[in-house]
């Protein structure tokens, strides 16, 4: 198939490479030329705009930072709408994480141009993108989903059609509540163990065998113990995702106390210059605050 991909950053680059390695002909555009360098050895064609990508490929994936970026590359000047008319049934698949309301709006605006739309955010971080083990949550029609499913299967291990347009983003928001709160809870527990004078590695080992078990405790907990804060999912990204969650909560009149508290932790990470570190570095934030309180109470 001729497939377009726009957004070749930390996540998009390995995802697009999986499509090329599966034998599909890639058509690419990126704001930064350096993002295109890994594609020199695969079947990929480089273009000067998103519109040119859409002229060549009837299915175009986008994986960009936020809703304004999705709107720009799809509907803006030089965007996908300007080239998609070359195809009988063009499809745009946005795999970014954006508000559900924005996904529905972009889907309706694309439909006015005869373009089908799926919102398909992912979970799994950079390692999931590299290993093609992403979880993909999709909103849209079953017909369009089935057409794109073979491509999803090259990028992830589990793909679910959640519901209509916007439903994929709702599922991703739920995912970010659970992962954000989970990361903060594991960091709190390990910091509590350490400040109590008990080996946090032994505490984690004990918890893995009980009802406190979670994949976050298993995988991210070990990374915290190893002090491995290499970015796989940066703190500013989780801050952005929880901002989406809280904006939707305000719109719906919902109380999300755990998500709200966790959002403040990620805000503090950004405010203290830790935005480019992995979100699990929230442990370092808690350690700093614990040390400060101890010093102030025991000068």
SS3 152: helix
* Nearest partner of 15 among 110, 208, 156, judged by Cα: 156
Q: Any idea which residues carry the catalytic annotation?
A: 172
> How remote is the C-alpha of 31 from its chain's centroid?
19
Residue 52 phi/psi, 5-degree rounding, is: -65, -35
SS3 277: coil
Relative orientation angle of helices 167-195 and 200-208, to the nearest 10 degrees: 130
d(Cα 231, Cα 209) in Å, to the nearest integer? Answer: 28
d(Cα 159, Cα 161) in Å, to the nearest integer? Answer: 7
What token pair was written down for 135?
């979880």
């Amino acid at each position: 198939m001729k497939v377009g991909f726009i957004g070749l950053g930390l996540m998009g680059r390995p995802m697009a490479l999986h499509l090329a390695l599966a034998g599909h002909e890639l058509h690419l555009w990126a704001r930064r030329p350096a993002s295109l360098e890994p594609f020199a050895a695969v079947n990929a064609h480089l273009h000067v705009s998103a519109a040119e990508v859409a002229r060549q490929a009837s299915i175009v994936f986008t994986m960009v930072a936020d809703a304004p970026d999705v709107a720009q590359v799809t509907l803006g000047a030089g965007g996908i709408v300007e080239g998609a008319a070359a195809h009988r049934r063009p499809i745009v698949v946005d795999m970014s994480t954006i508000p559900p309301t924005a996904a529905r709006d972009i889907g309706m605006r694309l439909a006015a141009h005869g373009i089908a739309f799926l919102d398909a955010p992912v979970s799994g971080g950079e390692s999931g993108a590299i290993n093609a083990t992403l979880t993909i949550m999709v909103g849209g029609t079953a017909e369009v989903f089935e057409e794109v499913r073979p491509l999803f299967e090259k990028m992830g291990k589990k793909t679910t059609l959640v519901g209509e347009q916007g439903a994929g983003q709702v599922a991703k928001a739920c995912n970010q509540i659970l992962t954000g709160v989970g990361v903060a809870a594991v960091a709190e527990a390990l910091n509590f163990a350490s400040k109590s004078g008990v080996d946090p590695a032994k505490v984690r080992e004990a918890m893995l065998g009980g009802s406190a078990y979670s994949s976050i405790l298993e995988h991210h907990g070990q990374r915290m113990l190893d002090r491995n804060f290499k970015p796989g999912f940066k703190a500013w990204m989780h801050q952005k995702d929880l901002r989406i969650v809280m904006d939707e909560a305000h719109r719906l009149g919902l109380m999300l106390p755990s998500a709200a508290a966790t959002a403040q932790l990620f805000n503090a990470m950004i405010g203290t210059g830790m935005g480019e570190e992995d979100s699990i570095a929230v442990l370092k934030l808690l350690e700093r605050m614990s040390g400060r309180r101890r010093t102030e109470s025991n000068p």
